[in-house]
Amino acid sequence: MTKILNINSSVRNGDSISRKATAEFISKWKAKEPNAVVVERDVAAQPLPHIDGQTLGAFFTPAENRTAEQAQIAKLSETLVQELFDADVIVIGAPMYNFSITSGLKAWIDHVARAGVTFKYTEKGPVGLLTGKKVYIFTASGGVYSEGPAQAMDFTSTYLRAVLGFIGLTDVTFIQSEGIAMGAEGVQKAQAKTSDAINELLAA
């Protein structure tokens, strides 16, 4: 039985291309594996607090030494981290906002990328602790960033691949819905390409 963690970060709802893509992927996965368990985490509809000094203080205080307030602060992060450890498959909807990820998704990363919890430092350098999991990331962008002159401005896929790899999530597949600002035809073309990619991924 596969456990899937589905993370959405678009601030849009019904008209979100990345949300439609993750929903299609999950639906088609469930059609193949009805017993798969899906945990939903919507960092736009239910925003996470951004990291501040108190949060960092709680993170770096050993659990047995935390005050009641610090324990409460760390509880949310521990829940988010546990969702990752419990998952076999992680599905992320990551639309591009101003060439990078949403602030909501960045807040989620700040809560789960934790030294001694999801990665550790060793004599040979940092080692990610979240291993053996598959990640699918569905991006959406108004322009085309996978190739051409705008490719250098794609900080969405480059950042996510780097930071997820840092915590051990190295098996990452990107499915990009591009050119959605180019009118209705651009949206239809992007969605059709995404659907084809999903079908190909789940055909195996």
- How far is it, in rounded angstroms, from Cα 172 to Cα 136? 6
Residue 55 contacts residue 73 (beta carbons within 8 Å)? yes
Please, which residues have CB within 8 angstroms of residue 120's CB and are 6 or more apart in sequence? Answer: 126, 127, 129
141 is in an annotated binding site: no
Q: Does 96 show up as a binding residue in the annotation? A: yes
The verdict on whether residue 16 carries a ligand-binding annotation is yes
- Residue 199 among known ligand-binding residues: no
Q: Is 97 a known ligand-binding residue?
A: yes
Token couple for 2: 């596969």
Q: What share of the chain is helix, strand, coil (3-state, %, to 5)?
A: 45, 20, 35
18 is in an annotated binding site: yes
Interacting residues of 193 by C-beta distance below 8 A, sequence separation 6+: 177
Binding residues: 10, 16-18, 96-99
Binding residues for FMN: 10, 16-18, 96-99
